[in-house]
Structure 1
Amino acid sequence: MPIDLYYMEASAPCRSVMMTAKMVGAELNLKKTDVMAGDNMKPEYLKMNPQHNIPTIDDNGFYLNESRAICAYLVNAYGKDDTLYPKDAKVRALVDQRLYFDMGVFYHRFGLVYYPIMFSGATKLDEKALKDFNEALDFLETFLGQNKYAAGDHLTIADIALVASASTFVATNKTVFDKHPKIQAWLEMCKSEITDYEETNNQGAEAFGQWAQSALAKLESE
């Protein structure tokens, strides 16, 4: 049976799950969940996920939220091998570190810059948040100077999660990585390796970018 995925296409975390599922051959039954309209606050959704965030999966009665945990689960449950989430303790620890970096620093700091404009009515960019965000970009540039990929010598779910984030950044600001050539090269390399990249990620990233740019355009016109 296919796995139900409750998602929004514009959401980077949701797209990381879609990319991972495609890479391991797990079939998804996509269920659009409009959090702006409150779909995630309905009783049947809260029963699956009391945190009421997206993405959430229902794998034949097994419910799981938090995208990076879902990606790891998909590889463990459906992957033909452990390439995307290696079992070697040291390699897996490095993948985990990059996943936590994506969640707690890389994407988080992006949100601190742009979410107040998009969702909270802020009238200007926070300079401190922007400085911290640029520092996060520098961190990834440094990581990619140590390894060809985010966590070693081949594509893993760490790359997939970070690609979902990075592509969202580019869709929001086309010049975001102009000072980060290693990130630019890595992103293009990953795009070429991720199955059905346009469908599973790029369309949603562009949708987010249009949303963000619309909010920023209003800011600039004030």
Structure 2
Amino acid sequence: MTTKLYLNYSSPFCRSVLFVAKHLGIDLHEVNVDLVDKQQLRPEFLKLNPRHTLPTLEDEGVVIWESRAIIQYLCNKYGRNSQLYPTDPAERAKVDMVLDFDLGTLAPALKAVRITKLVTNNSTKGAKPTEQQLTTLKDSLTVLDSMIGKNGGYSAGKHLTIADLSLIPQFLTVTTEELADYMHVRHWYSEITAKEMPYFDEINSMAVKSIEDRTRRLTERADKS
């Protein structure tokens, strides 16, 4: 049975699943969900995922949403011999800890600043993040920078794990200048994407195109309203 991934390349959480699948050599049947046309709200999709979120995985009758749960599932089922998700309890706990930190702290902080900066209609043009949003993001990046420094270049151990592959897609729209104070984060991002992710450029280029297309279509619709 085909393993389907319902996704949109503009979502960093969808790309994290793609990164893990590529790393493990898993062949996914990709089903693009158009967020501008709100295809995620169609009845057939709501039957799969009542939260109407992406990514959503459908594998042999099993349906999973939430990107971190999906990548854990893929590793448990298809990558049992991979170091991406260590089997040692202590090492796995470190990975889970970073995934939880990302879910509860870093990802929301990055999203808050990213969404505020993103020009999607005339009412948000020129908007700037609030001081509280910037402070929260700064604190979160400081924690991540410290973890990477202590681990010698990785977020959750001494080698690449799903924690890294979950975090990296979220930095697509973060500029080098914005990471000026986070030496370890800058080095981590550039080194891993260049040396350990041969699939990165292909997926990243599709993400850029998807984001540009989505922003253009939303802007056009706002101008017509």
Measure how far apart 1:39 and its partner are. Answer: 0.6
Give the aligned partner of residue 79 of structure 1. Answer: 79
1:136 aligns with 2:140: yes
Structure 2: where are the runs of 5+ without partners? Answer: 219-225
Q: Aligned runs of 1:80-95 on 2, under 5 Å? A: 81-95=81-95
CA deviations 1:112-149 (Å, max 9, x no partner) are: 12324535844332121011111111111110121021
Measure how far apart 1:7 and its partner are. Answer: 0.6
Q: Structure 1-normalised TM-score? A: 0.86
Give the aligned partner of residue 161 of structure 2. Answer: 156
* 2:4 and 2:30 in contact (8 A); partners too: yes
CA deviations 1:47-87 (Å, max 9, x no partner) are: 11111000001112211100011011111111151411011
* 1:84 and 1:157 in contact (8 A); partners too: yes
Change (3 A) 1:134 1:161: same
Measure how far apart 1:206 and its partner are. Answer: 6.8
CA deviations 1:178-222 (Å, max 9, x no partner) are: 11111111112211202411123354157547977xx9xxxxxxx
Change (3 A) 1:124 1:196: closer
In 2, Cα distance between the equivalents of 1:142 and 1:159? Answer: 14
In 2, Cα distance between the equivalents of 1:211 and 1:185? Answer: 30
- RMSD of Structure 2 on Structure 1 (CA): 2.3
* 1:19 and 1:195 in contact (8 A); partners too: no
Change (3 A) 1:201 1:153: same
AA in 1 matched with 2:128? K
Give the aligned partner of residue 37 of structure 2. Answer: 37
CA deviations 1:19-54 (Å, max 9, x no partner) are: 000111110111111122111111111111111000
Give the aligned partner of residue 219 of structure 1. Answer: none
Q: Aligned runs of 1:191-206 on 2, under 5 Å? A: 191=193, 192-204=195-207
* 1:3 and 1:58 in contact (8 A); partners too: yes
Q: 1:37 is paired with a residue of what secondary structure?
A: coil
Percent identity of paired positions between Structure 1 and Structure 2: 33
Q: Aligned runs of 1:57-68 on 2, under 5 Å? A: 57-68=57-68
* 2:36 and 2:214 in contact (8 A); partners too: no
Change (3 A) 1:60 1:201: farther
1:145 aligns with 2:122: no
In 2, Cα distance between the equivalents of 1:201 and 1:90? Answer: 32
* 1:19 and 1:201 in contact (8 A); partners too: no
Give the aligned partner of residue 14 of structure 1. Answer: 14
Worse-matched range after superposition: 184-193 or 155-164 = 184-193
The number of residues matched between the two structures is 211
In 1, Cα distance between the equivalents of 2:3 and 2:209? Answer: 25
Change (3 A) 1:161 1:205: farther
In 2, Cα distance between the equivalents of 1:150 and 1:211? Answer: 31
* 2:10 and 2:207 in contact (8 A); partners too: yes
